[in-house]
Amino acid sequence: MLSPRTSPTRDIVGLDGLWRFALDSRATAEPWRARLDTPLEAPVPASYNDLFTDPEIRDHVGVVWYQREVRVPRGWSGQRVVLRFGSVTHAAQVYVDDRLVTEHTGGYTPFEADLTDVVAPGAEFRLTAGVDNRLTNETLPPGTVTTGPDGRPRQSYLHDFYNYAGIARPVRLCSTPRSHVEDITVVTGRDGSAGVVDYLVEAVGGAEEVRVRAVDEAGATVASSTGTEGSLRIEDVTLWRPGAAYLYDLIVELVCPDGKLLDSYTQPFGVRTVEVRGTDFLINGEPFYFTGFGKHEDTPVRGKGHDDAYLVHDFQLLDWTGANSFRTAHYPYAEEVLDFADRHGVVVIDETAAVGLNLGVQGGLTGVPPTPTFAPENFGGVMGDVHAQHLRELIERDKNHPSVVMWCLANEPASNEEGAREYFEPLVELVRKLDPTRPLTYAAVMFATPQNDRIGDLFDVLSINRYYGWYLFTGDLATAETYLEQDLRGWAERFGKPVMMSEYGADTQPGLHSVWDAPWSEEYQSDLLAMYHRVFDRIPAFVGEHVWNFADFQTSAGIHRVDGNKKGVFTRERKPKSAAFALRRRWQGLDGRKPGTPIAEED
């Protein structure tokens, strides 16, 4: 799915701003039929939960309504008109005046409605969106809705981040010509010093010609071709490299036989290759070592609402710590984030919202599920199809981002349980078919060991989440070190594949200090990370370290969380804890090399 971009043939009207807002329980029946009668307004993009003081809104389970008026620009006559939501968490029903124009389930991917035959240039329409935050065993992430003694619904879920909901990403009204470029796929490779760019254009409309050209950052055309499918060769190509981004533009034009331009769309791309060879993760043929974090889209007041100021600041802090990469834990992030990563050379592991496919977490540290995770009444039924749809939408959206070097199919699934292989095999097959170019991974939960894991061989990289020294052997880093090393060596030996740490960390209260190994102190967080690093540096198959988490983030209320998860190396307000400085000392200047590796001469 193409990102909305203006071009000589395309316009965009941004619909962000304040929309009328009401809980379903306080709205009239069929609220899309009239002006929403409410005193409340909510900003778009933002999660709605933390905006209002009313606890009924924060804890609301079910549908809320957003509404505004939209005027279609007068000049759009004869054009196709498309309404596009960057995301609605978790399900949306969208009305134009009295008419339902689209529905979508899945809270972190975009969707569109074609309004061409529904709206008129110059005229105004009432846009109403119903937003449903309910999680069930047919949604990703999954959850359970029960009814409390007061008759009100209660939402529970297995993942460790607050169930923020709303219209969290930009909404746009876009015009395209009726004959238009519908989709573009770009796959890049290298032939000596040349870049090879295979492209595929999906065009809708008349029997026009497709012209394609690649333009470099200086604006020079470096290769061109015609036809919906082909290959461009860029001599002396400038590669997209981690820490040194370089983007070309692929300008795709649909042209009439008489030379008239029907549509034009510009797709940025970077030329780079990704490959797993033996126990190496190679970008452009060179071993790459991941330094960075599992992140979250999470900020005060906005919740999961996209915010360009935090985007810029977070990337500044990534750079300051020497992080070269992050994982989009635990859902696809806003497209703006990936565009920024493309432009700034930050490497991304792109994850679906498949978090919580593990009933073992209800068994606490025993990991024994009260009922098997992949039983038909749990996630062994329709969930596989839901998961496949999430993967399709993720790849459709993100396939052209050079920053995305790996797909992460799930966070901490019950890969140790019976049924895991049957569940994951078709999904792995699907992703390899949709994108044969990128390696695949999943983040392995503590209960999945090198002995009992059932799916590691299906994937290319083993990403391991571990909390030795925190949930296990709390405060005893010496014992934690022994167990961690044994565990990680086990994965490396059994599978013979690259291994990385996709989560490790400790909750830390900023300002708490101790001369001892005192959990929650800033020193303990740094010492725990240092212990992990000693172990990583002893394992040859190790290809990266992603600390959990970049910043403190909000979770549901619980006795083991004090105003959220505090494993951030930065606070929720992005102030550094001591560990941020320790990481900076380890990571700065590595430039994708494994710590301790000598700098090669040509560097």
Question: Which residues are designated catalytic?
Answer: 412, 503
Nearer to ligand BDP, 180 or 387 (CB): 387
Nearer to ligand BDP, 272 or 330 (CB): 330
Q: Return the SS3 of 109.
A: coil
* Number of neighbouring beta carbons within 10 Å of residue 575: 12
Least separation in angstroms between residue 386's CB and ligand BDP is 20
Nearer to ligand BDP, 265 or 424 (CB): 424
Site map (CB under 6 A) of ligand BDP, residues 323-362, x = contact: -------x--------------------------------
Contact 360, 414 (CB under 8 A): yes
Least separation in angstroms between residue 565's CB and ligand BDP is 5
Q: Is 160 in the site for ligand BDP (CB under 6 A)?
A: yes
Q: Is 552 in the site for ligand BDP (CB under 6 A)?
A: no
Nearer to ligand BDP, 48 or 548 (CB): 548
Least separation in angstroms between residue 100's CB and ligand BDP is 35
Number of residues that bind ligand BDP (CB under 6 A): 9
> What's the DSSP call for residue 458?
G
Least separation in angstroms between residue 155's CB and ligand BDP is 17
**Secondary structure in 3-state letters for 323-365:** CCEEECCCCCCCHHHHHHHHHHCCEEEEECCCECCCHHHHHHH
Please, which residues have CB within 8 angstroms of residue 438's CB and are 6 or more apart in sequence? 274, 404, 405, 406, 407
d(CA 252, CA 291): 36
Interface pick for ligand BDP out of 411, 416, 441, 525 (rule CB under 6 A): 411
* Number of neighbouring beta carbons within 10 Å of residue 78: 10
Least separation in angstroms between residue 355's CB and ligand BDP is 7
Q: What is the CA radius of gyration of the chain?
A: 24
Nearer to ligand BDP, 36 or 499 (CB): 499
Least separation in angstroms between residue 567's CB and ligand BDP is 5
Tokens representing 370 are: 């009260």
* Residue 485, H or E segment: helix 477-495
Contact 183, 202 (CB under 8 A): yes
Least separation in angstroms between residue 331's CB and ligand BDP is 11
Nearer to ligand BDP, 125 or 442 (CB): 442
* Residue 174, H or E segment: strand 171-176
Q: Which residue of this chain has its Cβ atom nearest to ligand BDP in the complex?
A: 160
Site map (CB under 6 A) of ligand BDP, residues 78-117, x = contact: ----------------------------------------
Least separation in angstroms between residue 356's CB and ligand BDP is 9
Tokens representing 498 are: 């690259």
In the numeric block, the tokens 């700034």 are attached to 344
Nearer to ligand BDP, 173 or 445 (CB): 445
Contact 253, 261 (CB under 8 A): yes
* Residue 388, H or E segment: helix 383-398
Residue 179 CA neighbour count, 13 Å, CB half: 15
* Residue 464, H or E segment: strand 462-465
Q: Is 503 in the site for ligand BDP (CB under 6 A)?
A: yes
Contact 552, 160 (CB under 8 A): no
Please, which residues have CB within 8 angstroms of residue 518's CB and are 6 or more apart in sequence? 475, 512, 524
Q: Return the SS3 of 428.
A: helix
Site map (CB under 6 A) of ligand BDP, residues 449-488, x = contact: ----------------x-----------------------
Least separation in angstroms between residue 437's CB and ligand BDP is 27
Restricted to residues 554-583, the positions that interact with ligand BDP (CB under 6 A) are 565, 567
> What's the DSSP call for residue 468?
B
Backbone angles phi, psi at 172, to 5 degrees: -140, 145
d(CA 353, CA 346): 21
Please choose, from the candidates 480, 423, 471, the residue with its C-alpha nearest in 3D space to the C-alpha of residue 446: 471
Please choose, from the candidates 307, 11, 300, the residue with its C-alpha nearest in 3D space to the C-alpha of residue 172: 11
In the numeric block, the tokens 């013979």 are attached to 496
Give DSSP secondary structure letters for 229-250: EEEEEETTPPPPBTTB---EEE
Nearer to ligand BDP, 6 or 156 (CB): 156
Nearer to ligand BDP, 113 or 446 (CB): 446
Nearer to ligand BDP, 279 or 502 (CB): 502
Residues of this chain that bind ligand BDP (CB under 6 A): 160, 330, 411-412, 465, 503, 548, 565, 567
